Amino acid sequence: MGTCFRLIMYRSSCNSVSLQAMFYSASEKRYGSMQYRRCGKNGLKLPAISLGLWHNFGALDDFEKCRKIIHTAFDNGITHFDLANNYGPPAGAAEETFGKIFQEDIKRYRDEIILSTKAGYGMWSGPYGDGGSKKYLIASLDQSLKRMGLDYVDIFYHHRPDPETPLEETMAVLDLIVRQGKALYVGISNYSALETQKAIKVLNSLGTPLLIHQVKYSMLVRGAEDGLLDVVQKNGIGCIAFSSLAQGILTNKYLSGIPGDSRAASERGNGALEKSGLTEPVLSKVRELNEIAKQRGQSMAQMALAWILKDERMTSLIIGASKPEQVTDSIQSLKNCRFSDEELESIERILK
Ligand SMILES: NC(=O)c1ccc[n+]([C@@H]2O[C@H](COP(=O)([O-])OP(=O)(O)OC[C@H]3O[C@@H](n4cnc5c(N)ncnc54)[C@H](OP(=O)(O)O)[C@@H]3O)[C@@H](O)[C@H]2O)c1
């Protein structure tokens, strides 16, 4: 594992204040066990498991724990960190947290790291802080770069389709951002299969091909299977899943109550899992799935992630984590992403 030292001020026995300069050093074994998958037909590869900072990296979260989660991820080959302008709370705080850790600890590994951010949801008041206009997206990316102290991000996403802005305008901004050198690649998120097909066509005509689509996909949320996965495959686009643990439902943590330190107990708002999402019909399915996971020698979380990664159309999935141990636990899913026909049939029967 990597080592982390901080700049520590301490008072020595003769009462003078000393400075101890120390730094984070990434594990030399970081590329030992992670898989890297190509984004469709593009040159870029992503780790099969990426880390997202939607929750757990806000202003009220324990900064040293955030630092440890990032270090653990990178030490284990997670080279991709996913952010958005509005992650926090408050909005912008996750980029600030990440920016501080990046500047202090991992800046020297910049060329080993893929950073993504997004804009598309409401970020600031007035008519220019939401949607897909050129005015909003250009200003938002400039703000994100400033918060993280970066010259460029690797991937910039339009976070959700905006029915009020012509698709041509939004895609032209993505193209412009790449030409300006503020992002290397562009992606879209939460677009339907049809909207994705149209976005691909416009971007191709501009000369900035779509790199990747970011989609909500888990055993419990299967919309991606209704055409989107076929569109990305047909067009050689990457696909990265989010909320593949359904924010923690697809783990064994809620099977005997709601732990006090869980997301469901935290009442964070901003789309975070709430207690009302933990219904008995859903939990009884998870109990049954957990039995299959045990037979496979996996935790429930590991099986839920492996189930996504069994599909070769998936480039990566983005996990969230409130503890470093969750990162190492989730990575173990890569040890077995194969499912027998019998296992797949049993899973489908439970999910129906
Ligand atoms: N494009 C979009 O619109 C969009 C939307 C949502 C998310 N995302 C991206 O996807 C990322 C992940 O989303 P998410 O947080 O919903 O993902 P998730 O992986 O479904 O849920 C993360 C939560 O699951 C629990 N967990 C994680 N690993 C575990 C393990 N091994 N064992 C037990 N529990 C475990 C933790 O819950 P506790 O906190 O309870 O410990 C953690 O906070 C986000 O950070 C963001 O980057 C994108």
CATH number of the domain within which 209 lies: 3.20.20.100
pLDDT at 98 over 60: yes
Q: Indicate whether 207 belongs to any domain.
A: yes
Interval 3-12 mean pLDDT? 54
Distance, CA 174 to ligand 1 centroid (Å)? 27
Quick: pLDDT tens for 47-92.
999 999 999 999 999 999 999 999 999 999 999 999 999 999 999 9
pLDDT band at 22 (very low <50, low <70, confident <90, very high): low
**Which amino acid residue places its CA nearest to atom 10 of ligand 1?**
242
The pLDDT, as a whole number, for residue 211 is 98
The pLDDT, as a whole number, for residue 19 is 44
Interval 306-311 mean pLDDT? 98
Give the C-alpha separation, 300 to 338, whole Å: 15
pLDDT band at 23 (very low <50, low <70, confident <90, very high): confident
pLDDT at 201 over 60: yes
Q: Indicate whether 240 belongs to any domain.
A: yes
Q: Indicate whether 289 belongs to any domain.
A: no
Query: Domain residues for 100?
Result: 36-247+299-337
Give the C-alpha separation, 54 to 229, whole Å: 24
Ligand 1 neighbourhood includes 61 CB (under 6 angstroms) = no
Q: Indicate whether 162 belongs to any domain.
A: yes
Ligand 1 neighbourhood includes 254 CB (under 6 angstroms) = no
Average pLDDT, the chain: 94
**Which amino acid residue places its CA nearest to atom 22 of ligand 1?**
320
The pLDDT, as a whole number, for residue 6 is 60
pLDDT band at 40 (very low <50, low <70, confident <90, very high): very high
Q: Indicate whether 23 belongs to any domain.
A: no
pLDDT band at 17 (very low <50, low <70, confident <90, very high): very low
List the alpha helices (DSSP H) in 163-279: 167-179, 193-206, 228-234, 263-266
Distance, CA 4 to ligand 1 centroid (Å)? 25
Q: Indicate whether 273 belongs to any domain.
A: no
Element (H, E) at 24: none
Q: Indicate whether 345 belongs to any domain.
A: no
Contact 286, 280 (CB under 8 A): no
pLDDT at 16 over 50: no
List the alpha helices (DSSP H) in the chain: 63-75, 93-101, 134-148, 167-179, 193-206, 228-234, 263-266, 280-296, 300-309, 324-331, 341-351
Quick: pLDDT tens for 118-150.
999 999 999 999 999 999 999 999 999 999 999
Element (H, E) at 29: none
The pLDDT, as a whole number, for residue 3 is 72
**Is cis: bond before 90, omega within 30 of 0?**
yes
pLDDT at 12 over 50: no
Contact 249, 277 (CB under 8 A): yes
pLDDT at 228 over 70: yes
pLDDT band at 270 (very low <50, low <70, confident <90, very high): confident
Give the C-alpha separation, 157 to 210, whole Å: 10
Q: Indicate whether 324 belongs to any domain.
A: yes
Query: Which atom of ligand 1 lies nearest, measured to the CA of 83?
Result: 47
The pLDDT, as a whole number, for residue 311 is 97
Interval 31-56 mean pLDDT? 97
Percentage with pLDDT > 90 across the chain: 92
Q: Is 252 exposed, middle or buried (0-12, 13-18, 19+ CB in 10 A)?
A: middle
pLDDT at 18 over 50: no
pLDDT at 1 over 80: no
Give the C-alpha separation, 135 to 146, whole Å: 17
Distance, CA 106 to ligand 1 centroid (Å)? 23
pLDDT band at 267 (very low <50, low <70, confident <90, very high): confident
pLDDT band at 241 (very low <50, low <70, confident <90, very high): very high
What's the structural domain count of the chain?
Answer: 1
